[in-house]
Amino acid sequence: MNEEIKEFLESYKMKNVPDTVYYIPNFISEEEETNIVNKVSNSPLPKWTQLSNRRLQNWGGIPHPKGMIAETIPDWLQNYVEKVEKLSVFQKPIRPNHVLINEYLQGQGIMPHLDGPLFYPTVTTISCGSHTVLDFYSQRSDSVTDAQDIPMQTDEKEVSNQKMFSLLVERRSLLVLQDDMYSKYLHGIAEVCDDVISDDLANLHQTGQSFKMGERLNRDTRISLTIRHVPKTTKLKINFIR
């Protein structure tokens, strides 16, 4: 990592939460956001996987304990993968090779979970279309916390973990989780239609715009691009024309 990138990342590192969280507001432009939303919305219906509380798309392959059969990520999406890769949050020679796209309608969310061992321990997320609030929890010693955000692992289990803090994730922002924040703290999104600005939001001093305490923000449809590296892939590589 060169010094310029290192200084850039350090300026967005959160100091008031466990290691490591980077929150970068306005990581993409409004034009880029519109392009992402349009591309995702116009994806062929078979590309979508419908879950009980949201729907999603896998690009680059479908992660599996036995290995992911690699697929070529289309150029429009690869542009954003490379934009994240340039930050060097994935240690070379590690390169992101998978994108999970989630669509959350107003009132939809995801139960507290860890992303799990199928991925290199760094998760990066670009948000489009709407803000959300991401809640973080400490683990109970008997909690089941394997990855809960891919189709073959949808057995989300209700767990009573202690909420530690929350982050206001703005549209067009990039969120990076590493180290203990990847492996020890569960993250989830409550199934609500709006959010109230409060002291529980640990990144209010780092957001792209100013908010007033008690202000209520209405959620809209949110598209998230979760960009990660799947270490275990098969030698077979599939190219699709989309």
At 21-64, the pLDDT tens digits run 999 999 999 999 999 999 999 999 999 999 999 999 999 999 99
Share of the chain above pLDDT 90, in %: 84
> What's the pLDDT score for residue 149?
52
Q: What is the mean pLDDT of the chain?
A: 90
At 188-236, the pLDDT tens digits run 999 999 999 999 999 999 999 999 999 999 999 999 999 999 999 986 6
Instruction: Give the C-alpha distances (Å, rounded to integers) separating 229 from 65, 168, 176.
Output: 14, 25, 13
pLDDT band at 238 (very low <50, low <70, confident <90, very high): low
* Residue 161 DSSP one-character state: P
Mapped onto helix, strand or coil, the DSSP state of residue 232 is: coil
Q: Among 96-105, 136-145, 158-167, 226-235, which stretch is predicted with the lowest mean pLDDT?
A: 136-145
**Residue 182 in tokens:** 């990847």
> What's the pLDDT score for residue 140?
73
Q: Tell me if 225 sits within 8 A of 126, measured CB to CB.
A: yes
Q: Tell me if 81 sits within 8 A of 99, measured CB to CB.
A: yes
Structural domains in the chain, CATH included, are 3-139+160-230 (2.60.120.590)
